[in-house]
Structure 1
Amino acid sequence: MVRTEHDALELIHQKRVVTEVPASGTPSLVEAVAGGPVRGSWRSHAKGRLMYRLGRMLRASDEVLSVRLVEGKVAFVDPSLWPAVYRVAMEPSRRRRTLAGLSPQARELLTAVERDRVVHLDKEGPWTKAREALEERLLVHVSETELEDGRHVTVLRSWRDWVSPTVKEASQTLTYDEALARLREACGGAPAGLGAWVP
């Protein structure tokens, strides 16, 4: 059972991919905290507040990568798979295809992130749909942080700004198909698909 951030990080390091909420083929944070399957909404579960708090901590953690990896749901990814995620995120042909159908607002936000490298947004607001579109298509890296005034904000950064030299170098040893295969394997095959960003 997961009770602390340390427990959650240990689970992620062991399993390599843990979704926040239940999804096909992967363990989930919600079920790990609950100690088994959760009926109905996890938010109304007796441990719902702990599940929520741990999810926020993991999204802000430098020890895991938070991406919408399985069935469009947030997944926490161990560093061993970061090169595969970066390789897929930066694949030019994939990026071109995922740009199709983006709203003008989402394109404007993507331009701002690529230009400014880091953009802070309120968690809910006029840019929410645009941010979600970019996150779902793996076009930007998304995390959360707490500002000095105590507000929690969403942080969008370009993948080029996020990547370390070590991860970038390791990603260059992978083909796009190899990177996808590694992610699929870690996600139990993800029968419903890795995400909207996979062609």
Structure 2
Amino acid sequence: MKTKARPAKNRPAKRPTAKSTPRRAAAKPAGRHLARKPASAKRVRRTERRASAKRAAPRARARPARRSPASRWLRFVEEHGVVLASARGPVPSVAEAVAGQPIVGSWWAHPRGKAIFAALSELDDADDVRCFKLVDGKVTFVHRRVWPALACLAHNGVIDAGRAASIQQEHMPTGEHRNLVTPFPDWVPDDVARAAAELTVEAARAQLGGWI
């Protein structure tokens, strides 16, 4: 017995969906992201005014550096040539010059004690000043101006070489101070040695004063 073939049903065709036919993104014109808005006339005028004011503004003058308080005492040592740090003696004393009066007792207790300490510290660090145990064996500052005279007298035995040894304080990490002693003539620069060789003993005495 033969079976009859069933006729195929007419199925409606599927409509294309958005997924099946994706839309292409519209191409951006080349260089669009580089385009800039033209500057407005108001903005241009404001920029020009700022540039003009900047050109017309006078340059600030550099202020002169303030001299440290020790500069006064450096000139004090240069004027006298040889001065004592704090002791009394035949030459001026830095401590009493800072205090403006004779000091009775220790200068640490004086109302100007901090100023005295600052002046002595600055002089100890000054390149044109050296420290010695020179006058009466006390701490003495000697200015470079009279180093040749000191070297001349020490070389000729008028001043003991031990008194002509240079002393410099070294600040330790612990806060303490240590004296570094440079014997004579190791501390004498070459130019000072040449100048000392040209001096007579009498001329050197006259430069250092009558305390010798």
Q: Give the structure 1 partner of residue 142 of structure 2.
A: 77
Is residue 169–residue 179 contact of structure 2 (8 Å, CA) maintained in 1? Answer: yes
Question: Equivalent of 1:23, from 78, 88, 100?
Answer: 88
Instruction: Look up the SS of the partner of 1:153 in the other structure.
Output: strand
CA offsets 1:69-93 (integer angstroms, 9 cap, x no match):
32222221221100011122233x4
Q: Distance in 2 between matches of 1:24 and 1:149?
A: 33
Stretch deviating more after TM superposition (166-175 or 138-147): 138-147
- Structure 1, unaligned runs of 5 or more: 99-133, 195-199
1:58-77 correspondence to structure 2 within 5 Å: 58-77=123-142
Q: Give the structure 2 partner of residue 164 of structure 1.
A: 189
Instruction: Look up the SS of the partner of 1:143 in the other structure.
Output: strand
Question: Which structure is larger by alpha-carbon Rg, 1 or 2?
Answer: 2
Cα 1:34–1:85 change in 2 (3 A) is same
Task: Select the structure that is richer in helix.
Answer: 1
Stretch deviating more after TM superposition (23-32 or 4-13): 23-32
Q: Give the structure 2 partner of residue 54 of structure 1.
A: 119
Q: Give the structure 1 partner of residue 103 of structure 2.
A: 38
Counterpart residue type for residue 10 of structure 1: R
Is residue 137–residue 163 contact of structure 2 (8 Å, CA) maintained in 1? Answer: no
Q: Distance in 2 between matches of 1:41 and 1:152?
A: 19
Structure of greater relative contact order (alpha carbons < 8 Å, 6+ residues apart): 1
State the aligned residue count. 145
**Runs of 4+ more than 6 Å apart:** none
1:89 is aligned to 2:162 = no
Is residue 19–residue 26 contact of structure 1 (8 Å, CA) maintained in 2? Answer: yes
Percent of residue pairs identical:
30
Q: Give the structure 1 partner of residue 165 of structure 2.
A: 140
Q: Distance in 2 between matches of 1:40 and 1:10?
A: 26
TM-score (structure 1 length as normaliser): 0.61
Q: Distance in 2 between matches of 1:139 and 1:79?
A: 14
Superposed CA RMSD: 2.6
Cα 1:172–1:158 change in 2 (3 A) is same
TM-score (structure 2 length as normaliser): 0.58
Q: Give the structure 2 partner of residue 173 of structure 1.
A: 198
Q: Distance in 1 between matches of 2:99 and 2:81?
A: 20
Instruction: Look up the SS of the partner of 1:77 in the other structure.
Output: strand
- Structure 2, unaligned runs of 5 or more: 1-67
